[in-house]
Structures are given as C-alpha cells and as structure tokens.
Homo-oligomer: A and B are copies of this chain.
Amino acid sequence: MVGMAERVRSSRWTREQSETEFARVVAFSDGVIAIALTLLELNFDTPDVPAPQVAAELAALWPTFLSYAISFAVIGALWVSHHSFFAELRGFDSRLMRLNLLYLSLIVLIPFTTNVFDSYGEVPAGPMLYAAVLAAASLVAWTMGRYAVRAGFVAGAARSGAHGSSLRDLVTPAIFLLSVPLALVIPEYTPLIWLAGLILARRFS
C-alpha cells in the first residue's frame, strides 16, 4: 500500500470531487481528538485507602479535576477551531493531510502532559512540558491555515479572516511559547499567564 501512498503525496482533491474522502479525513481527525479527550479520564486514579478516608482522598483530587477541566476545555477549543477550519476548506492535498497528522500527534500527547502537569505543577518541568506541546500544536495549526490559504484551499470570502493570514493569529502560539521560559522562574503562575494571554488575545482579535 505504500506505493499507493507515494502517489497520494502528489494528489490534490477538491471537496466537491470527493466529498467522501474529505469527510473521511475529517471523521478520522474527530475520532482521534474525541479519544484524546476521553483518555483524560484515565488520569483519575481511584483512591486505594480504608473506606472512612476516601472522602478526604477524593477531596484531595481537586487539582486533578482542575487540570481535567482545563485540558478538556483546551482540547474542546482546539476541536472547535479544527472544526471551523475544515468547514472553510474547499480542498486538500497530501501535504495538508500530513500537517494534520502532525497536529493530531501533538493533541494526543495532551492527556500525558496533563497528568505530568497535575503531578508536578509546582516545579518548572510540569507546566513547561504542557505549554511546549500546546505551543507546538498552535504553531502547526497556524502553519496549516497559512498553507491552506496559499494553496488556494480557502474560498475568497473566508480568505481574509482565515488562519495564518495575519500576524494576529500568532498570538496564541506566542503566549504558550513565552510561558515555557517563564515557567522556569514562576511555574505556579503559568496557568494565570495562559488565562491572561487568552483574554487579551480574545479582546484584540
């Protein structure tokens, strides 16, 4: 099948020509994102203590609930973006497909980085790994948007507002990227930096 894959690399499909193939790429991406979202649940470990202590143990899980909520919201927001990006696409080629796979490979890491962040949030390594993966994912998303516009896969009307068409769209990757070195100095405030950055980004975009 690899010989086939080679030929695919030079292929280019419009959405009208092959709605089925387009839908399959979208459904596959959705499947991967949905599974990554659901695997976040595996970060909850059922306490293994005598019954009378379980209430206290569950209460002590609040940082796990918090990091679950943050990551669910993050993956959810990334899915909504992915959703609206593909809704605007009028075609795709194998390069866009590979960028999409690279994007997915970063999303799939989030349950792991969430678990590390949850267990080691107070030292730099926890938030740094978390922010680094999200910064990389944001950059790949930006690259996908930029490439889709340049390759003519985004229709005229949607073009001016599309991903990657302006520097403004680099704000989110920049926030996550900048938080990586900042986590070295003030790891416990990294989530606040993300929040402040995202509120600012929303206000000015």
Which chain A residues have a beta carbon within 8 Å of chain B's beta carbons? 1-8, 11, 18, 20-21, 23-28, 30-42, 44, 46-47, 51-52, 54-55, 58, 68-69, 72-73, 76-85, 87, 94, 97-98, 101, 104-105, 108-109, 111-112, 115-116, 119-120, 122-126, 129, 138, 141-142, 144-145, 161-163, 168-169, 171-172, 198, 201-202, 205
Inter-subunit contact B32/A32 (CB<8 Å): no
B141 touches A1 (CB 8 A): yes
Residues of B within 8 A of A120 (CB): 47, 51, 54
Chain B's closest residue to A23 (CB) is B20
A129: chain B residues within 8 A (beta carbon): 58
How many copies the complex holds: the figure is 4
Complex formed: what's the CA distance from A45 to B178 in Å? Answer: 27
Cα(A33)–Cα(B33), bound, Å: 13
Contact B80 A5 (CB under 8 A): yes
- Shortest A105–chain B CB gap in Å is 4
Whether A28 pairs with B79 at a CB distance below 8 angstroms is yes
Contact in complex: B46, A138 (CB < 8 Å): no
**A-B interface, 10 closest residue pairs, ranked by CB to CB distance from nearest:** A1-B81, A31-B34, A55-B125, A35-B38, A1-B141, A44-B112, A76-B101, A2-B172, A5-B81, A72-B105
- Given that A81-B5, A129-B58 are contacting pairs, would A38 and B41 also be in contact in the complex, using a CB cutoff of 8 Å? no
| Residue in chain B with minimal CB distance to A21 | B87
Cα(A91)–Cα(B175), bound, Å: 34
Contact B108 A40 (CB under 8 A): yes
Q: With both chains docked as a complex, state the minimum distance between the C-beta of A165 and any C-beta of chain B, in angstroms.
A: 9
Cα separation A44 to B83 with both chains bound (whole Å): 28
How near does chain B come to A162, taking the closest CB pair, in angstroms?
Answer: 7
- Cβ-defined contact, B116 with A101, below 8 A: no
Of the listed residues A6, A27, A34, A55, the one surrounded by the most CB atoms of chain B closer than 10 A to its CB is A34
**Contacting pair B81 A171 (CB below 8 A):** no
Smallest CB separation, A124 vs chain B (Å): 7
